[in-house]
Chains A and B, each alone.
Chain A
Amino acid sequence: DGGITQSPKYLFRKEGQNVTLSCEQNLNHDAMYWYRQDPGQGLRLIYYSQIVNDFQKGDIAEGYSVSREKKESFPLTVTSAQKNPTAFYLCASRGTGDTGELFFGEGSRLTVL
C-alpha cells in the first residue's frame, strides 16, 4: 500500500540527547514536510523539502535539523538545543502541482524525561 511511514511511534529521550525521527514515503511525492503539534496549538511547520538535496526552514526550525538525500526519505533530528522537545511530530508529503493536498504519516510522540 502507498503511504507515509513514521518511526518510531513512541520515543523517550533524556535531556541533552539528540534523537532522529524517520519518515519514509512510497507515494513518489517530491515535497515532504515536518510539523510539530502541541495541544491546542494546531500544526506548526518545522522544515520542508521541495526536492532531493534541498530543504528550507519553516516557522519553528530552531533546535531541529533535517536531510533529504533520497526522494522517499526525510528524517528529522531533534537536537539537544531544542528547549521544549516533548511533542507529537507529523511528517507529510505532497505531489507535484499546486493542489495543496498534504498526506500525513501516523505521527511520532517524543517525550523528554
Chain B
Amino acid sequence: GQQLNQSPQSMFIQEGEDVSMNCTSSSIFNTWLWYKQDPGEGPVLLIALYKAGELTSNGRLTAQFGITRKDSFLNISASIPSDVGIYFCAGQRFWLGSQGNLIFGKGTKLSVKP
C-alpha cells in the first residue's frame, strides 16, 4: 500500500525553540493535511494545503505543500509547552477505483526537554 514517511519520529523541544517536521512520499498527492493529537484525544486539524507550492500559516504554525506534490513540511515557531503532542501528516489523492481516502504518516511525537 501507499506510505507516507514522516520524520522525525520524535523530538524534544525547549520552550522558545523552532520545530520542523516533514512528510515525503513516492506518490503525488492532491491535498496535504496536518493534524495534532493530544494524549487520549482525537486528532485536530491544524492546516490544510491544496495547491503545489502553497504556503499557509495558522498562528505560529506554517506548512507548505511541496512543489513536486510528493512532500510537505510543518514548522512551529517559538514553541510553548502546550505544543507537545503527536503531529500527523495526511495526504489525499485520487486514482482509478479510489475513494480519495486519506493516507496518514506515523506521526512525530513532540516532548518537552527534561
Contact = CB atoms under 8 A, between A and B. Distances in A.
Interface of A: 4, 6, 33, 40-43, 45, 48, 50, 56, 58-59, 88, 90, 92, 98-107, 109
Given A42-B88, A50-B99, A101 B42 contact: no
Contact of B43 (A40, A90, A98, A100): A90
Interface of chain B: mostly helix, strand, loop or mixed: loop
Contacts of A100: 30-31, 33, 48, 90, 92, 100, 102
Nearest to A58: B101
A104 B43 contact: yes
Contacts of B90: 100, 102
A37 B1 CA distance: 17
Give the secondary structure class of A's interface.
strand
B25 to A, nearest CB: 13
Nearest to B29: A100
A106 B33 contact: no
28 contacts: A33-B101, A40-B106, A41-B106, A45-B101, A48-B99, A50-B99, A56-B99, A90-B42, A92-B42, A98-B30, A98-B31, A98-B92, A98-B94, A99-B48, A100-B30, A100-B31, A100-B33, A100-B48, A100-B92, A100-B100, A101-B48, A102-B45, A102-B102, A103-B45, A106-B42, A107-B40, A107-B41, A107-B42
